Amino acid sequence: MGFLLDWSRVPELDDDPALWAGPLRLMAELEAGAVANPDEGRQVGHYWLRAPDLAPEAYREPIRAAARECLRLAREIHREKKYRTLLLLGIGGSALGPEFLGTALREPEDPMRLMVLDNTDPEGMARVIGPLDLEEVLVVCVSKSGKTPETRNALIEVQAAFARAGVAFEAQAIAISQEGSALWEAAAGWRARLPMWDWVGGRTSVCSAVGLLPLALQGVDTEAFLEGAAAMDAATRAGAAGGGDIMQNPALVLARCWYTLGTGHGDRAMVVLPYRDRLLLFSRYLQQLVMESIGKERDLKGRVVRQRLTVYGNKGSTDQHAFVQQLREGPDDHFTTLIGLWEDGFYGEEVEPGIDAGDYLQGMLLGTREALSAAHPVIGLWMQTVDAFRLGALVALYERAVGLYAFRIGINAYHQPGVEAGKKAAAAVLALKAPLLAAIAALPGGEARTAPELAALAGLPAQQAEVCWHLLTRLAANGQIAATPGGQPSQDRFQAA
């Protein structure tokens, strides 16, 4: 497939290979339809998206139909020659996955350029939407539940912008959501709706319409992308059911490296340095895929384990100037994955006699490998090039390594209770605004109170005073109320504007 995985700069893998028979068996059961999230009674089937024949019979045709519809829609839209910008609304894997793929496979001649709204930042949204000619914008809104606040907020802002410009939104909008969701129902009059399924998580959704439609709209060969992922899946089943040499399974080798280097608890961080501009977002993509899957308080038996596998990194050779000094001479708290490509993609000018920019990039990669591996473990991953097939394979390689590693350490890689806890806490903060404003409105004319006093007047617990100060300070900064600074935050006074 044009890949080389090099673990020669990793200390001897001290974990018994026989201990990985269980993870391989559990992965096979997962692909066969086993329930992965017992607390939700939910299967995990992102592997079926590139191999529908492995899916339960009821899912096979819907998977194929969705992939066909992505291609049909893209071809129809390209024939119209109306839209130049694809504006994607999403959050987490529903935005980062397509953005990573789109950045990696972008070409100057692509029929559409991809832009993303993935945050509920009003200024950020205005900066993206403002310069656009909305007559030439196709909107794709992705939310499985249809209730994700960031995506809903972006949708409201985009719809308002279309209304101000006098452009009909519905004819230029496509929804990707679970059938029956709030978004699915709201999009009944839009140009198209494409399905997501309960058994596909956001961080593993790029082989569904979430990734396929944006790729197809950019002119990428989505069939080759799926073929690459399926080919890597096949290669990473080696050793299952006692067949084959497990050390010929690249996902299992990666997982064994992670286990050895982190002593089974993520004691070292994983630094990822891809040496090509196309892979700029890969470390960000892996942050979500790995950390949301592996960072868990409890194992499958309910014991507190606080598992982790921290991921950070950026682009080589650019960002090695930022942190290779610490990687080389700092504490032994990390290992590094260097990713290189053999094909340059473009042959530039000689910068020295007989030496071009590509030679320098390879020199930086191999030189950094030597410098780092003298002090810390280094994994190397080389690819022939970045094309649709190999990018699909790269995504599948890390998805399966994460799954095998999670089974080995006994955690559930496919739920995210910590994320849900954050969403609930955010909702609780939002609920404080109305009573605070009501308390300010009830003050006698010209009277001002501190945040603790206003919290008490609003009937809020005393421990909420600090959060109330943050809410009130932002409201004052935006002219919705007035504020008088005190000597310290607890003495700041707030009143009606």
List active site positions: 292, 321, 423
The pair of structure tokens assigned to 340 is: 């290189």
CB contact set of 416 (below 8 Å; sequence gap of 6+): 292
H/E stretch holding 305 reads strand 304-307
**Contact (CB, 8 A) for 140 and 74:** no
User: CA-CA distances (angstroms) from residue 33 to 45, 59, 473?
Assistant: 7, 11, 51
d(CA 113, CA 106): 8
Closest CA to 50 of 287, 192, 225: 225
Taking the alpha carbons of 224, 230, 236, 238 in that order, is the dihedral positive or negative?
Answer: negative
Residues 424, 150, 282: CA angle, nearest 5 degrees: 105
Q: Sort strands 334-341 and 378-383 into parallel, antiparallel or unpaired.
A: parallel
d(CA 301, CA 297): 11
Partners of 336 in the beta sheet?
A: 271, 378
d(CA 152, CA 75): 28
Residue 291, phi then psi, degrees to nearest 5: -75, -35
Residue 350, phi then psi, degrees to nearest 5: -70, 130
**Contact (CB, 8 A) for 181 and 214:** no
Closest CA to 97 of 319, 375, 292: 292
Residues 106, 109, 113: CA angle, nearest 5 degrees: 55
Instruction: Measure the CA dihedral 197/128/102/230, to 10°.
Output: -10
d(CA 213, CA 195): 11
Closest CA to 22 of 289, 300, 222, 232: 300
Residue found under tokens 């066909």: 68
d(CA 217, CA 83): 10
Residue 441: HSE in the Cβ half-sphere, 13 Å Cα cutoff:
7
